[in-house]
Structure 1
Amino acid sequence: MPLPPSSFLSAWSAGFAVCLSLIVAIGAQNLMVLRQGLLRRHVGASVAFCTVADVTLALCGVAGVARVLEGRADWAAWLSAAGGMFLLGYGALALRRAWRGGSAAMADGAGTARLRTVLAQLAAFTLLNPHVYFDTLVIIGPLGARQPGVLKGVFVAGVGSASLLWFAALGYGARVLRPWFARPAAWRVLDAATGGMMLGLAAWLMAGARL
């Protein structure tokens, strides 16, 4: 018996809503995409990477990978420790830029950051964050797994739509803030806020690792 059109809309809406509710928050990945938008560097690639990462993790969750991770507290601990170390280093670099005012100079120039460097940083922010696995494998995954048949795919499509919408708005909408960031002091404020948040997250992750 064919499914009614309302079932497809309901499954898509469920995936869209749960993903958007989880990713609309200030975090390392979001700040990275915002920064690329302000600098006008590799914005499309950054948005695409984050969207593909969310869809891939959602697919894994719906397919039942979350069950494989159950009971592996040691994996979670090592992941938290690695994420904490990465955020510690990145936070220190952000505070250094805030002190020296390096970001304003970077924004004025043609830009030297290569695409692979930007994607490597985004990969670290995404994959070394334990919360991304909790969100996509523990929350999104089981919700999508409840959908019957082909609606599992429709649910994941909703997740991808929300992810694409959010990161595109974050990356391309950053141009609205460019007049404010024309002042070097604004970049220092952003770097200082980013660095402080990264160090706080690093301390929290490493404290919870308990290796």
Structure 2
Amino acid sequence: MLSVYFQGVALGASLILPLGPQNAFVMNQGVKRQYHLMTALLCTLSDIALICGGIFGGSALLLQSPLLLQLITWAGVAFLLWYGWGALRTAVSGNVNFADETVLNQGRWRIIATMMAVTWLNPHVYIDTFVVLGSIGGQLPDALARRWFALGTVTASLLWFFGLALMAAWLAPLLRTVRAQRIINLLVGSVMWLIAFQLARQGIAAF
């Protein structure tokens, strides 16, 4: 079963490593040292739910409901455009606010809501977990093999999100300057808008 486990680790890593809205958000919170471990934990828990849903039967629901995928797609487009606009506006204006304790306490629920949005309103995450992982996991011979495969993909998510958050926090002293924050916000905003336009193009093509 170890071979199935490492197959899950490798496939999970290949799906999660490309820079997307989830990774950009975790990195940004790590640089700010603003609930970055909580963000990594919530991303990991979301991935666990999505991976298990995809491998253990949820893929059929998504494939049978094109309308549901369309709703998720356009909600994701709207959110990514809004979030990207905020990041780009900060980058251009240079109005960078480094969080103090008051801002941290006020911003916890907003961070949670944003993390849930960048995860659950991104149709790519359903394609990766429900379609790709679901189809591969569904071909495994028995339930035990599927559990080991799911454990491997979950391991990849756990190591990646916590590693990204901790690495960004470790580099924070170098990156918590106005110039670095402007570059990071420009990167985050550009990634959000690029993915939003890709999703919109896919949504239009699906009509």
TM-score (norm 1): 0.88
* Cα distance, 1:71 vs structure 2: 4.0
In structure 2, C-alpha distance between the alignment counterparts of 1:101 and 1:139, rounded to whole Å: 41
2:86 corresponds to 1:106: no
1:124-139 to structure 2, matched below 5 A, reads 124-139=117-132
**Aligned AA for 1:72?**
S
Q: Which residue of 2 aligns with 1:179?
A: 173
Q: Which residue of 2 aligns with 1:117?
A: 110
The match for 1:54 among 41, 47, 61 is 47
Q: Which residue of 2 aligns with 1:68?
A: 61
The 8 Å contact of residues 80 and 130 in structure 1, kept in 2 or not, is answered as yes
* Cα distance, 1:16 vs structure 2: 0.9
In structure 2, C-alpha distance between the alignment counterparts of 1:200 and 1:182, rounded to whole Å: 25
Give deviations 1:90-111, integer Å, cap 9, x for gaps.
Answer: 01100111123233x224x334
The 8 Å contact of residues 78 and 209 in structure 1, kept in 2 or not, is answered as no
Q: Which residue of 2 aligns with 1:149?
A: 143
2:20 corresponds to 1:27: yes
RMSD, aligned CA: 1.7
Give deviations 1:12-31, integer Å, cap 9, x for gaps.
Answer: 11111111110001111101
In structure 2, C-alpha distance between the alignment counterparts of 1:156 and 1:208, rounded to whole Å: 28
Greater Cα shift, 166-175 or 62-71: 62-71
Greater Cα shift, 110-119 or 169-178: 110-119
1:7-18 to structure 2, matched below 5 A, reads 7=1, 9-18=2-11
In structure 1, C-alpha distance between the alignment counterparts of 2:5 and 2:52, rounded to whole Å: 14
2:45 corresponds to 1:45: no
Give deviations 1:130-178, integer Å, cap 9, x for gaps.
Answer: 1100100111122222332322222111111110100011000113422
Greater Cα shift, 67-76 or 85-94: 67-76
**Aligned AA for 2:146?**
K
The match for 2:153 among 135, 159, 167 is 159
**Aligned AA for 1:50?**
C
The 8 Å contact of residues 32 and 176 in structure 2, kept in 1 or not, is answered as no
1:186-197 to structure 2, matched below 5 A, reads 186-197=180-191
Which consecutive residues of structure 2, in runs of 5 or more, have no partner in the other structure?
A: none
1:73-92 to structure 2, matched below 5 A, reads 73-92=66-85
The 8 Å contact of residues 77 and 208 in structure 1, kept in 2 or not, is answered as no
**What percentage of aligned pairs have identical amino acids?**
33
**Aligned AA for 1:138?**
V
The 8 Å contact of residues 54 and 159 in structure 1, kept in 2 or not, is answered as no
**Aligned AA for 2:93?**
R
* Cα distance, 1:53 vs structure 2: 1.1
SS at match of 2:98: helix
In structure 1, C-alpha distance between the alignment counterparts of 2:120 and 2:127, rounded to whole Å: 12
